[in-house]
Structure 1
């Protein structure tokens, strides 16, 4: 069997692929920020004295972590449309990705919060710090610092998983690649290029998170420890 590789037919579509990659970055970045907020609030709710709030959060986390992301995407896009709430593919993608990563972030942040020794909180309260400042400076910031590598890995996985949203016609990188492939019939070349593009995006996100960590976690930077 003889096959002639033709990557030029893929590279001529670089403006479209670049637009798809940019949308992937946008969807991922927005979902990461929103998911981090959702996950952190859920982690705080885990420590709540309200059993009802704890039960609701635990139910949310268990449902999301034990169902496929693709099903969640379909539920948001097609399910909500069936009851009259029609969303654009990009909006549905952000909601589904946020809900998904929020559940995983909640578990990671809960581990970080649980790692804070109660004696540190008591010491801060003895110094006369307000509850907000105690929770912010003594609990949340150190918790994020401790689990930051795990958060980084989870967020990069989310960026890669955003390719699933091509199934609802969100015109991100994978969806654009599918269109290029259907026009050029160069499946091998197209998906090799896309694999390299996702690899580059992974390194880009990892570098961005490294810079954020170096900026946010001053103590580690002064100690010269790695994130």
Structure 2
């Protein structure tokens, strides 16, 4: 999957907000292990994201790895609650932050693996998702997928560089930093996406440069594309 420019993701999130009332949304990418990374937020705070990553990612009933085999792309909280113990996530994270409901929308690569997702959250003010809301999401999802087709269908090249000797030198976080670099993100934008400081991003690049033998972001991109 090719990196998606932040402007495209922002437009995607804006279209979701225009579609129906929500308290917040999160768009994220999914790694080969089915774990989310590179979150871009709308109406949610970085502090909430950090808490999610530290304490609730492993018990998240919407974790893409859990839904990889099902082939279902629209997953509602009410559907999951009948099959999984979600009390820890529900009470510890959603309800504690004033949210009452969540729906996840997954986007898959041509090989069927989940490449990215959008989580939509509601509070008591916006109300729980109704059957008509889910039907609307189902109808809109193919159009959103079409808008992302150029990125989702380029999975082969992305898999190649991630499986290359070049990428094997890097840690998972360094791969995430490089992925954001390819999307055109600045150091500050990468810091926000990774929930770290700009100084930490610079340190990551320093380590990446040392491991790969390049001396600049431009040279890094050139070397990366050649692989």
TM-score bin (small chain): under 0.3
Compute the TM-score of the two structures, normalised by the length of structure 2: 0.26
Q: Max radius of gyration: which structure?
A: 1
Q: Which has the higher strand share?
A: 2
Q: Which has the higher helix share?
A: 1
